[in-house]
A and B are shown apart, each in its own frame.
Chain A
Amino acid sequence: MSAELYQALIMDRSKNPRHAGRPEHFNAQAEQKNALCGDQVQVFISGGHVRHESRGCAIMTASADLMAEAVAGKAAVEIAALNKVFEKMVNSGEAAESLGELNALAGVSQFRSRIRCATLPWAALAQALEEVPHG
């Protein structure tokens, strides 16, 4: 049953996210909301690390958590480039080497209405990065 989407890594990251929770200090934050379902994700940038507070489905929460891990220590331009590769992957379903564990979300391409769940944290991160002057 939908093993291709709800695989172990996604279930694990949605149940036990490693990068969840609002940090005490942060340089920037941004929030995105999916008007269709009411899901919300808040992203915080503190130093070279990203944390998230996710109120939504398993796909969104897992995506936020895997994103936080993938972008750790990366510069804004690198994150923007990775975001593009990620968008392409969740739409096409074709894994890309540079995405690593993020490729676990490739199954979402079969569920058109769920692609937004996977990309929402990235939209929040892009918005937060704009707030960081020399991010």
Chain B
Amino acid sequence: MLNKVFNVDAIREDFPILSQTVHGKKFVFLDSGASAQKPRAVIDAMVQCMETQYANVHRGLHYMSERTSDKYEAVRDKVAGLLNAASRDEIVFTRNGTESINLVARTFGTTSLKPGDAVAVSQMEHHANIVPWQMLRDAHGTELRIIKITDSGELDWESLEQVFADGKVKLLAITHMSNVLGTYTPVERLAAFAHERGAKILLDGCQAIVHRKVDVKAIDADFYVFSGHKLYGPTGIGVLYAKREILDAMPPFLGGGDMIASVSYEKSTWAKPPHRFEAGTPAIIETIGLGAAIDYVEAIGFDAIAAHERDLTEHALAVLARIEGLRVLGAAQDRGGVISFVMKHAHAHDIATLLDRQGIAVRAGQHCAEPLMGRLGVTSTARATFGVYTTREEIDALEAGLLRIQKMFA
């Protein structure tokens, strides 16, 4: 697959589910932003693991355990490579992006943040990057501050400066790409801004990791989180990246096997990162699946993925603009393949149900971003999101479906 020209038809053949029909119609999947479909390579890697090379990791002295441990730990190297981390020890495996953020809130949050310190999030966060900080606030006495967004769905820099003005913000926790508006945030600039003011930065990369090359060193990110299942990998495996010196200072998250150096009834001592944060038997098969997913996207190449999605996004925005009474939310300069919209008379749920009957899967609702819905002045939106396998024809099918709905509700 190396250096091959981006060929969406060939890519589609890698995803067995895409040949399914739904309600007797061709399956048009425009909900990758919620969870992506899986290529054959990921499915095979997981099956092969269970069929030929499986035992618990980090424990057995026997052949199967050692081989499985090697395969499992090799994925840590792959993730470090994907993110351009300085070291494999900066990669912690979790269940998903949500757990990664909760891990940071419960360990870094309760030790490096003091009561009275503030955590700043933006108005376009997923609930996963709001609620853990609220829980920290209520348990630990930190403050939660909100950075506004502009009407075009970009970060309001003036509001950012105001939020940081009194020097209390010690952590900026912000999305790298909005799951509702598709807006990319200027992460390098934000990291420099936070660091100049003595704050750390956590980036929620659950959407961004799928669409562009992420370089945590170039960004100078302190924390970066993502989930495997949006990156064409399985569910149940997520990643927390954190700088080595930060991880070293963090206490454990969950207690149990694998995360200790020694245990007695009086006292236990902790393993070094990353194992300190990985209590219990991990998601071995899923982690190996994630490794296959990383191989898969890297073989296509992020330049090609980004170009494909830019083309789709431009096409979709042009097509949707032609539909009378349809409004796309957000108009950020730097945006990707996540497009939320509302229609004048048809409610988002009606749109989703009626599209589904035509075989087209979109998401409808609040997208786990209820406060953002309030800011946008809507109760819910319909959302189309794109992946490597999305085609222009599928966007044209969306247009045709929406035009039919528009007629019904006119």
Contacts and interface: CB of A to CB of B under 8 A. Distances in A.
Interface stretch (B31-39, B111-119, B364-372): B364-372
B353 A39 contact: no
Contact of A37 (B346, B356, B379): B379
A80 interface: no
Interface stretch (A22-30, A52-60, A86-94, A123-131): A52-60
Contacts of B366: 36-38
Contact of B379 (A2, A56, A59, A117): A56
A5 interface: yes
Contacts of A111: 353, 356
Q: Which of B350, B356, B366, B409 is packed against the most chain A CB atoms within 10 Å?
A: B350
A36 B353 CA distance: 15
B402 interface: no
A98 B404 CA distance: 34
Interface in A43-71: 55-59
B368 to A, nearest CB: 10
Contacts of B345: 15
Contacts of B373: 38
B297 interface: no
A37 B358 contact: no
B267 to A, nearest CB: 44
Binding site of A, secondary structure by majority: helix, strand, loop or mixed?
loop
A114 B350 CA distance: 9
Contacts of B348: 37, 57
Nearest to B401: A1
Contacts of A1: 354, 357-358, 404, 408
Given A36-B365, A37-B380, A38-B370, A11 B353 contact: no
A15 B344 CA distance: 12
B354 A37 contact: no
B347 interface: yes
A63 to B, nearest CB: 12
Interface in B320-360: 345-350, 353-354, 356-358
A39 B380 contact: yes
Given A55-B379, A57-B347, A58-B347, A37 B353 contact: no
A119 to B, nearest CB: 14
Contact of B364 (A2, A15, A37, A59): A37
Interface residues of B, number: 21
B377 to A, nearest CB: 12
A117 B348 CA distance: 12
A114 B348 CA distance: 12
Contacts of A37: 348-349, 364-366, 379-380
B350 A6 contact: yes
A42 interface: no
Contacts of B354: 1-2, 6
A83 interface: no
B350 A38 contact: no
A112 to B, nearest CB: 11
Nearest to B346: A58
Given A1-B358, A6-B408, A15-B345, A57 B350 contact: yes
A41 B257 CA distance: 50
B408 A40 contact: no
Contacts of A5: 353
B357 A39 contact: no
A2 B404 CA distance: 12
Interface string B362-394: 001110001001000001100000000000000
B349 A59 contact: yes
Contacts of B408: 1, 6, 11
Contacts of A59: 349-350
A93 to B, nearest CB: 15
A57 B357 contact: no
Contacts of A58: 346-347, 350, 409
A36 to B, nearest CB: 6
A38 B357 contact: no
Nearest to B404: A1
A15 B350 CA distance: 13
- Enumerate the 10 nearest inter-chain pairs by beta-carbon distance, A residue then B residue, closest first: A57-B347, A38-B379, A57-B349, A37-B365, A2-B357, A37-B380, A58-B350, A38-B380, A57-B350, A38-B366
Given A37-B365, A57-B349, A117-B349, 6 more contacts: A36-B365, A37-B364, A37-B366, A37-B379, A38-B366, A59-B350
5 contacts: A1-B354, A6-B350, A11-B409, A36-B365, A57-B347
